[in-house]
């Protein structure tokens, strides 16, 4: 029994309040209450959907930030590769021997590039 009903019953029992016939209660109140409950139910459903959508968007945004960071690193490595390529190319044009250090730099940069591409691919697969 609700608190309001218990208080009303107590007041009626003490004679301070006239008994109310439940059939005479205002039907408009019942319609309003029913509408409020319907709206609350609808709001709960929409709220749950919004929460799920926010979780999904947060995950996508996090993945995109990771992807962008990896692409910046990839651009940096690509620039290193081009720099090493031009040094090797100029060395060949001068008909000088290619230094082992230059070859190692080129191989290391290419390996790093491959690793970054795999990481970017993994982030894309998780999306």
Per-residue pLDDT of the chain (127 residues; tens, 9 = 90+): 688 888 888 888 888 878 766 555 566 678 888 999 999 999 999 999 999 999 999 999 999 999 999 999 999 999 999 999 999 999 999 999 989 999 999 999 999 999 999 999 998 676 5
Q: State the sign of the Cα–Cα–Cα–Cα dihedral 86, 87, 92, 98.
A: negative
**Cα–Cα distance list, 28 to 19, 35, 41, 70, 122 (Å):** 20, 10, 20, 62, 60
Global pTM value:
0.61
| HSE-CB of 40 using CA atoms within 13 angstroms | 6
């Amino acid at each position: 029994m609700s608190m309001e009903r218990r208080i009303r019953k107590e007041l009626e029992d003490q004679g301070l309040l006239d008994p109310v016939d439940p059939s005479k209660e205002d039907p408009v109140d019942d319609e309003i209450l029913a509408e409020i409950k319907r709206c609350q139910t609808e709001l709960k459903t929409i709220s749950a959907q919004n929460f799920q959508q926010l979780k999904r968007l947060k995950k996508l945004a996090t993945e995109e930030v990771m992807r962008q960071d990896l692409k910046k690193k990839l651009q940096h490595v690509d620039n290193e590769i081009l720099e090493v390529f031009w040094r090797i190319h100029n060395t060949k044009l001068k008909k000088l021997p290619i230094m082992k250090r230059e070859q190692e730099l080129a191989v290391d940069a290419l390996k790093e590039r491959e690793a970054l591409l795999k990481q970017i691919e993994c982030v894309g697969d998780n999306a």
